[in-house]
Structure 1
Amino acid sequence: MKVDWHHWVWNSYNVPKHSFIAWMLMLGKLKTRERLKAAGVVSDDRCVLCFAETETSNHVFFNCYRSKRVCEHIMLWMGIRMGNRETIYTSWKKWGRQCRSRNRQKAYYAVQTAMVYHLWMYRNYAYWNNVVRNPEIIVKEIKQDIKHRMQSCVTLKWNREDRNWLSNIV
């Protein structure tokens, strides 16, 4: 079955473990507390990051105030404005449309999948350790991962404008 998000998730600039978590997210297979409660594994389905709402994928990645802070910082770093009613799907589409070149588009998708991966690890750390880390730490981890990955992806095929753009963000 062909899906229209495969090139976002399986982008050659993505870190493979980031792509795997993004793939699970897009398939709706991440074990959120909502899913765990439905399976009888947990009794409380509230988000482990904010304890304010039911922990769904959409909540963890876009509505939880803690993960929203991470998203806002990363989007500001990348020069993208985030809407109040963003979903995972619309966010990926918007990021891709704002690119001037294929290299930038792939870099944006790599940032998006890194953000998904790190937010999921952030959530898992809170779940297993009963400690919610500072969102700014997660932002630093995402930036560091992206800097290392993008530096390894730059080739001579990149034009000067794309190389300059990349050097400004890393």
Structure 2
Amino acid sequence: MALPRHRFLVWLAVHARLLTQEMKMRLHIQDDENDCCLCDEQVETNSHLFEHCRWTKKLWLEIQKWTGVSVYAGGIQQVLKNIKKKHWRKFQKEVIAACYGAMLYHTWHARN
């Protein structure tokens, strides 16, 4: 149900393949700023950007209010496992997973 670009970005995020500031440092790519550009608190890592960032947490809380569903509990893989474990219809699982994928995609888009 999710858009292909959202599914691809979720795949990249699950496998830690996004070019975050931490990844740039590992690849020895020079950059002046290493802090998260959304919250300016920590070094931008995959886990910070999608799990611990204030901006992302606030966005996910708004999505939870809108959908009335709470599945956010840790990392990307844990959220996807929580959705899969729920005793919902397949359609409900797909809609919530699509919302989560869209949130990850738009977080990455806002970061860029």
> Where does the alignment leave 5 or more consecutive residues of structure 1 unmatched?
1-12, 125-170
Among 90, 94, 101, the residue aligned to 1:102 = 90
**Normalising to structure 1: TM-score of the pair?**
0.60
Q: 1:58 and 2:47 equivalent? A: yes
Please report how far the alpha carbon of residue 109 of structure 1 lies from its aligned counterpart in structure 2 after TM superposition.
1.1
Please report how far the alpha carbon of residue 38 of structure 1 lies from its aligned counterpart in structure 2 after TM superposition.
2.1
* Superposed structure 1 runs of 4+ greater than 4 Å apart: none
Give CA deviations for 1:103-135 in whole Å, capped at 9, x if unaligned: 1111111111111111110111xxxxxxxxxxx
Is the contact between residue 37 and residue 43 of structure 1 (CA under 8 Å) also seen in structure 2? no
> Where does the alignment leave 5 or more consecutive residues of structure 2 unmatched?
none
Secondary structure of the residue aligned to 1:52 is coil
Aligned length: 111
**Normalising to structure 2: TM-score of the pair?**
0.88
* C-alpha RMSD of matched pairs (Å): 1.6
Match of 1:112 in 2: 100
* Aligned partner letter, 1:32: T
- Determine which structure has more spread, i.e. the larger CA radius of gyration: 1
Identity of paired residues, percent? 26
* Distance (Å, rounded) in 2 between the aligned partners of 1:76 and 1:89: 22
Q: 1:24 and 2:12 equivalent? A: yes
Among 37, 51, 56, the residue aligned to 1:48 = 37
